[in-house]
Amino acid sequence: VYFGGPVEMYRGFCLHSSDYKNDESIEIDKNIYLTANKSIILDIAKSGGPEDMLFLLGYSGWAPGQLEYEISANGWLVVPSDEKVIFKTPDELKWKMAAMNHGIDITIMGGQAGTA
């Protein structure tokens, strides 16, 4: 079970592959979906769930426009989603692989956000 963020840490979410969908599944990207109802757990228990999945408790939230502002201030490194990185890469390498897949050597980046 992964830490999804500090808000409503009792709420569960399943980030999963596109081979599973129900009426409440949300498409994040072509091959990545999010489902936040208990029917997915029942389906998994009956061997009818997704092949790849991550369970998360809690989420992070932003005020309107806050995330966009943080991105424009270079507070985030935004890269396209990659189901192989999300579901198949060891946790300790995910951030590095996501960056490397887009030509970014994260090891040479500084620890502060901003523009130079």
> Residue 44's CB: how many other CB atoms inside 10 A?
16
CATH-assigned architecture of domain 1-61: 2-Layer Sandwich (3.30)
Q: Which residues make Cβ contacts (< 8 Å) with residue 106, sequence separation at least 6? A: 77, 95, 96, 99, 100
Per-residue pLDDT of 41-95, as tens digits, reads 999 999 999 999 999 999 999 999 999 999 999 888 888 899 999 999 999 999 9
Q: Are 34 and 14 in contact (CB under 8 A)?
A: yes
| CA end-to-end span of the chain | 38
Q: b/e string for 54-83 if b means 16 or more Cβ within 10 A?
A: eebebeeeeeeeeeeeeeeeeeeeeeeebb
Two structure tokens written together for 2: 């992964």
pTM: 0.82
For residue 105, the model assigns a pLDDT of 86
DSSP H helices in 10-65 = 39-45
Residue 27 forms beta bridges with which residues?
33
Domain residue spans in the chain? 1-61, 62-116
Q: What is the pLDDT of residue 113?
A: 61
